[in-house]
Amino acid sequence: MTVPEAKLTGQRVLFDEGHKNHHQIGRTYKPFATLLKNDGCKVESSDKPVDVASLSNTDILVLATATGKEEPGDKSAYTEKEISTLDEWIKNGGSVLIITEHYPFGLAMKTLLEALNVRIHNGYTEDSTLNNPQVRDALLFEKSKGNLNSSHSITTNLNRVNTFTGSSVKGDSTWTNLLILSDNAQNYNVNVKVDKEGGDVNVSVTYADFYPATGFSQGICKRYGKGKIVVLAESALLTAQFDKNGNKFGMNIADSDNKQLALNIIRWLADKNSN
């Protein structure tokens, strides 16, 4: 689809890269950052802690796929002080896009999300109803089938959005579901075995039992005081990558509105007047 002309004028978007973030704007999130620059944003990254100084010149903060300092990275990526500072900043008018994932990202970002009344599943999520037969390992959310919110401004001009494995989140009643899983969705639990030998850390991850993902979603949003929050439970949907077999995944998928979703999210976060 054709992306509309620039709608933003100088909004300052800061990508956190100070918490061992898997996706960064110089690597896999470069297409996302370029998209925002072309839409009128001033995009920067920070390898510093989340504090008053780093937030002072920021309109929108992106916290994507953060992990803990020590391997295997599943301890909280953010300190209590950082979370408290972020909470106050949002309430006073800041906006944040939080992007999490399956293990270890879900566990590493759990403390942050729970502070915002969001439950994160630490394993991965499957939904046989939403499987896209045309795209490897993708879930397809469609307005026509009721799985893509049809009434929120974030989903304006969207019809089809693909996600790629990922996890799921569940907010309380103050949150709005955007990417709605079906009644057949299942959350698979993770079993982790960590072996340390000398300075080497070997991590073995397996998935076995599961439970119904009732009420969970892969995208939610809300107003929070004077600010706004969007939480995504899958991160590759904002990339534009190729797998080892040359298959596309991310915003470069044909017949998909992922690129427009990325723009709509940032535009909504930037607009303090819309709900």
Q: Does the pLDDT value for residue 87 go beyond 60?
A: yes
pLDDT at 2: 47
What is the rounded CA–CA span in Å between residue 66 and residue 91?
A: 22
Query: 1 falls in which pLDDT band (50, 70, 90)?
Result: very low
Residue for token digits 């729970």?
A: 114
Q: Does the pLDDT value for residue 114 go beyond 80?
A: yes
**Which helix (H) or strand (E) is 242 found in, with range?**
strand 240-242
Nearest to 231 by CA among 109, 127, 124: 109
Please give the backbone phi and psi of residue 171, each rounded to the nearest 5 degrees, phi first.
Answer: -95, 170
Question: Using N-to-C axis directions, what is the helix angle for 258-270 and 30-38, rounded to 10°?
Answer: 60
Residue for token digits 């005081």?
A: 225
Q: What percent of the chain has pLDDT over 90?
A: 87
- Do β-strands 138-142 and 160-164 pair in parallel, antiparallel, or remain unpaired? antiparallel
Q: Reduced to 3 states, what is the DSSP secondary structure of residue 84?
A: helix
pTM of the model: 0.95
pLDDT at 6: 58
Nearest to 88 by CA among 197, 226, 180, 198: 226
Mean pLDDT of 190-211: 88
Q: Are 113 and 100 in contact (CB under 8 A)?
A: yes
Mean pLDDT of 123-127: 97
Q: Residue ranges per domain, the chain?
A: 12-270
Q: What share of the chain is helix, strand, coil (3-state, %, to 5)?
A: 20, 35, 45
Tens of pLDDT along 202-219? 889 999 899 999 999 999
Judge: domain 12-270, CATH 3.40.50.880.
Answer: yes
- Do β-strands 118-120 and 240-242 pair in parallel, antiparallel, or remain unpaired? unpaired
Q: Does the pLDDT value for residue 224 go beyond 70?
A: yes
**Which helix (H) or strand (E) is 83 found in, with range?**
helix 80-91
Mean pLDDT of 181-186: 98
**Which helix (H) or strand (E) is 138 found in, with range?**
strand 138-142
